[in-house]
């Protein structure tokens, strides 16, 4: 399964908290961040993905947290996605 498959409206049934956030966002005419679809599709993996991102963004690095945030924001903008 690919992310584009997860993002189809038919896959956002009651899959927990992220499924509800996706549905609420769509009702307001907004598209939620793509990662929410992955969280909704694989709820047991969500804490692991969040811990990984926390380490990447806030763990020990030669780059400051602000520099990493700037890189993430720039990359998201280039990919035309919500950061």
d(CA 60, CA 73): 20
Of the candidates 25, 23, 24, 29, the one whose C-alpha atom is nearest the C-alpha of residue 9 is 23
Q: How many C-alpha atoms does 58 have within 13 Å on its Cβ side?
A: 5
Distance in angstroms between the alpha carbons of the first and the last residue of the chain: 23
Q: What is the pLDDT of residues 8-51, one digit of tens each?
A: 555 545 568 888 888 899 899 988 888 888 888 888 898 999 89
* pTM of the full structure: 0.63
Of the candidates 54, 26, 28, the one whose C-alpha atom is nearest the C-alpha of residue 40 is 26
d(CA 6, CA 51): 22
- pLDDT for 56: 92
- Higher-pLDDT residue of 79 and 63 is 63
């Amino acid at each position: 399964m690919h992310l584009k498959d997860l993002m189809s409206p038919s896959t956002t049934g009651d899959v927990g908290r992220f499924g509800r956030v996706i549905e609420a966002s769509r009702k307001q005419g907004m598209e939620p961040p793509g990662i929410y679809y992955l969280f909704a599709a694989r709820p047991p993996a969500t804490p692991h993905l969040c811990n990984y991102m926390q380490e990447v963004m806030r763990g020990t690095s030669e780059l400051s947290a602000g520099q990493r945030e700037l890189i993430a924001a720039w990359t998201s903008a280039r990919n035309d996605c919500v950061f």
